[in-house]
Amino acid sequence: MRTHSFHPPVRTLMGPGPSDVNPRVLEAMSRPTIGHLDPVFVDMMEELKSLLQYAFQTGNQLTMPVSGPGSAGMETCFVNLVEPGDKVIVCQNGVFGGRMKENVERCGGTAVMVEDAWGSAVDPQKLKDALQAHPDAKLVAFVHAETSTGAQSDAKALVEIAHRHDCLVIVDTVTSLGGTPVKVDEWGIDAVYSGTQKCLSCTPGLSPVSFSERAMERIKHRKTKVQSWFMDLNLVMGYWGSGAKRAYHHTAPINALYGLHEALVILQEEGLENAWARHAHAHRALLAGIEAMGLKFVVKEDERLPQLNAVGIPEGVDDAAVRAQLLQDYNLEIGAGLGPMAGKIWRIGLMGYGANPKNVLFCLGALEDVLSRMRAPIERGAALPAAHAALGAA
Amino acid sequence: MRTHSFHPPVRTLMGPGPSDVNPRVLEAMSRPTIGHLDPVFVDMMEELKSLLQYAFQTGNQLTMPVSGPGSAGMETCFVNLVEPGDKVIVCQNGVFGGRMKENVERCGGTAVMVEDAWGSAVDPQKLKDALQAHPDAKLVAFVHAETSTGAQSDAKALVEIAHRHDCLVIVDTVTSLGGTPVKVDEWGIDAVYSGTQKCLSCTPGLSPVSFSERAMERIKHRKTKVQSWFMDLNLVMGYWGSGAKRAYHHTAPINALYGLHEALVILQEEGLENAWARHAHAHRALLAGIEAMGLKFVVKEDERLPQLNAVGIPEGVDDAAVRAQLLQDYNLEIGAGLGPMAGKIWRIGLMGYGANPKNVLFCLGALEDVLSRMRAPIERGAALPAAHAALGAA
């Protein structure tokens, strides 16, 4: 029963992430491993922190990648900032707001939920009302870009409201970072986490985070110990903090960090504004093609994420069968809906390296073929011309 | 202030880990990323679980890699098995027993410490005494192979004692797995964690774990929720469990898992027994050379780990200067001492791919040169002949 080396197929990843990884990142990850306390590695860590500060548009000292996926980054924010008994306002408009609630409760806090429909942005008025009803709230948490629905909320407005009530704010930017503006300092975000496998075009497994001075103060003056040893920032900072002397905390995922460093160098080379524009451009072309085919976007125009396109599945079409066919015939992955959206939407990612005309045209072509063969009610032959026109109009 | 791609130097890693990574593993990590719910990836996960069962010598269903480094694997064991108020006997004979204590306390448990000298194995009699003094203890935890000192404890004997008092047992095998026997089923271990960057010769960042049926029962019947959402095995199993249907929990670190898969395929090709013998062989040669040079091992002969060699630093020799010189002149990394051993020992790793005659001879040659230049009191010209003789005598 001997197992052999694993050779994955070459897919085109247009789901909610992981997205297509830049080959430069894959090559970087295969460079020789060195020690996590090697002075050369420590210099690389400093560069990585600066590159992340650029990506997050922040001067926050405490800006670094958590050695785990986005969920570990989320939990790092909550376990450090929530103490038992704390009241936290959590805005939910998709799967990940629900996960925030779980985090608050497992830290011994109380979550006050502000609910919006899945597929809509968070309503700032509802947050105002909740803060007025709960003047003892200490934190507000929301998802900037809901990966489960493709809706983007107005982070700047929500942070302002929270600060007026003297709450710190935790923001999930897993799907927005690198794809649409995330301006940590300008918006005044206190704690933010993201992932590497979306618009940064890196492999999954790391979670960039950043904390404001105010958040750091709160963490330093906690009454109780952080419940997680692994995620306790007071300890993690001994390794990721400044200065030549790094204290061993855990063994950093060396080669994964090479990959993230390379992904961020690529982002710096392109420039954030250009990356945002590229995502918007690819999105407009996909949108034009999808609508020409007769399919509909489920998120309102002004709340749509360019990098995550939620498309309604036409009546009578078998969701899983379409995705399986795309994978089998075209090595193309698109995403399913989650929770109440399961079976109702497809999630088409245009993230990072994958946000380009080639992927747009390929996806439209493959989808049209598979849907036609399944006799779905679509307009044939219209998608590509519409996409071409949108690409040209940029 | 533009940052460029990072190109690490090519080091020889003979510290406490990360160890030299097999080039096949680095190549595997650079294979194309696919989705974490891709059916081809799900098949790979099943293979990975079987390969880990082989490495751990267990039939445990719940055997998988945690998506974080060894510290996250440790915390996964504690947060799932400890409930507030639980009493846990923790045997400490180095740094990592202390970390176990932190974990117990942050889970709301009480840690009863059984202390042994750093550099010694855990004394089974002390564990017996502690269990008699604390009949209400629910768990026993110890480190099989102390990475901070190079001492190995008798895991089989300790587990037997704990089971006689009806305690479940958590064992740290971060440094032993793949280097010396770890027999989870034969020894009856209930929860075990390890790392990838030691004797498995993979990059750091993942933590293989395995849980017995008895441990799973305990977890399923907890009175309280696991305090970590990210590490809650009840949730993680929805993704890593059996069956074709995998529920999304977090995005798995795809390419890191390719690397671990390849590392375990290599281990299977060689065979566990051969890998253990190779570590022992390299250790005997290093030992012969080190002693011929006039240096001393600090751990007693029958408690020594072949893969982690703690060598006393001769009087008057500057620890940091020697390590810096080895790195600069030879691109060779050896490890410093931790805690009370800092400045007193070097930790020389012979782990996984790095446990070979080439590394042994290179390390002895480089160390002899640097120590001679620093006028350390060593015997010159004796180390290599002694090592050659030990290699030949295998």
Instruction: Find chain B residues with C-beta within 8 A of A90's C-beta.
Output: none
Instruction: Find chain B residues with C-beta within 8 A of A39's C-beta.
Output: 327
Residues B107-122 pLDDT 10s:
999 999 999 999 999 9
Q: How far is CA A359 from CA A36, A204, A296, A333, A354, in A?
A: 37, 20, 19, 11, 6
**pLDDT at A29 exceeding the cut of 70:** yes
Residues A90-113 pLDDT 10s:
999 999 999 999 999 999 999 999
DSSP E strands in chain B: the ranges are 12-14, 62-66, 87-92, 110-115, 139-143, 145-146, 151-152, 168-172, 191-193, 207-211, 308-312, 332-336, 345-349
Contact between B62 and B52 under an 8 Å Cβ cutoff? The reply is no
Q: Which residue of A has its CA nearest to B226?
A: A106
Choose, out of B7, B12, B33, B231, the residue to mutate when testing the contact with A (most A CBs < 10 Å). B33
How far is B296 from B336, CA to CA, in rounded Å?
16
How far is A269 from B384, CA to CA, in rounded Å?
50
CB-based contact A69 B5, cutoff 8 Å: no
**pLDDT at A244 exceeding the cut of 70:** no
* Confidence (pLDDT) at A242: 75
Instruction: Find chain A residues with C-beta within 8 A of B265's C-beta.
Output: 3-6
Q: Which residue of A has its CA nearest to B270?
A: A2
How far is A328 from A96, CA to CA, in rounded Å?
30
How far is B94 from B149, CA to CA, in rounded Å?
7
**pLDDT at A219 exceeding the cut of 70:** yes
Of B13, B15, B251, the CB nearest to A204: B251
Q: φ and ψ at A14, to 5 degrees?
A: -125, 40
Which residue in A164, A165, A218 sits closest to A190, CA to CA?
A218
**Average of per-residue pLDDT across B55-84:** 98
Instruction: Find chain B residues with C-beta within 8 A of A256's C-beta.
Output: 203, 205, 253, 255-256
Percentage of chain B surpassing pLDDT 70?
99
**Average of per-residue pLDDT across B252-264:** 98
Q: Which uninterrupted H or E stretch holds B281?
A: helix B272-292
Sign of torsion, CA B207 B213 B218 B222? positive
Of A7, A32, A333, the CB nearest to B8: A32
Domain boundaries A271-392, CATH class: alpha beta
How many angstroms separate the most distant Cα atoms in chain B?
65
CB-based contact B72 A71, cutoff 8 Å: no
**Average of per-residue pLDDT across A74-95:** 98
Query: What is the least distance, in Å, from the CA of A248 to any CA of chain B?
Result: 9
Choose, out of B203, B239, B346, the residue to mutate when testing the contact with A (most A CBs < 10 Å). B203
Instruction: Find chain B residues with C-beta within 8 A of A17's C-beta.
Output: 251
Buried b (16+ CB within 10 A) or exposed e, B310-328: bbbbbeebeeeebbebbbe
* Confidence (pLDDT) at B324: 97
**CATH superfamily, with its number, for domain B272-392:** Aspartate Aminotransferase, domain 1 (3.90.1150.10)
- The rounded radius of gyration (Å) of the Cα atoms in chain A is 21
How far is B102 from A112, CA to CA, in rounded Å?
31
Q: How far is CA B171 from CA A240, B100, B212, B351, in A?
A: 28, 10, 12, 20
Q: For the residues of B23-77, what is the DSSP string, one character each?
A: HHHHHHHTSPP--TT-HHHHHHHHHHHHHHHHHHT---SEEEEESS-HHHHHHHH
Residues B205-234 pLDDT 10s:
999 999 999 999 999 999 999 999 999 999
CB-based contact A71 B230, cutoff 8 Å: yes
Which amino acid type is present at position A129? Answer: D
Q: For the residues of B109-149, what is the DSSP string, one character each?
A: -EEEEEE--TTS---HHHHHHHHHH-TT--EEEEESEETTT
**pLDDT at A394 exceeding the cut of 80:** no
**Average of per-residue pLDDT across B336-345:** 95
**Average of per-residue pLDDT across A174-203:** 98
How far is B97 from B100, CA to CA, in rounded Å?
5
Which amino acid type is present at position B342? Answer: A
pLDDT-based confidence at residue B243 (cuts at 50, 70, 90):
low
Instruction: Find chain A residues with C-beta within 8 A of B40's C-beta.
Output: 8-9
Contact between B246 and B37 under an 8 Å Cβ cutoff? The reply is yes
Q: How far is CA A231 from CA A24, A384, B10, B147, in A?
A: 30, 48, 31, 21
Which CATH architecture group holds A22-268?
A: 3-Layer(aba) Sandwich (3.40)
Domain spans in chain B, listed from the N-terminal domain onward: 23-268, 272-392
Q: Are strands A145-146 and B87-92 parallel, antiparallel or unpaired?
A: unpaired
* Confidence (pLDDT) at B66: 98
pLDDT-based confidence at residue A247 (cuts at 50, 70, 90):
confident
CATH code that applies to domain B23-268: 3.40.640.10
The DSSP symbol for B19 reads P
Which amino acid type is present at position B119? Answer: G
pLDDT-based confidence at residue B244 (cuts at 50, 70, 90):
low
Residues B344-387 pLDDT 10s:
999 999 999 999 999 999 999 999 999 999 999 999 999 999 99
pLDDT-based confidence at residue B394 (cuts at 50, 70, 90):
low
Residues B177-205 pLDDT 10s:
999 999 999 999 999 999 999 999 999 99
Q: How far is CA A59 from CA A1, A49, B2, in A?
A: 54, 10, 16
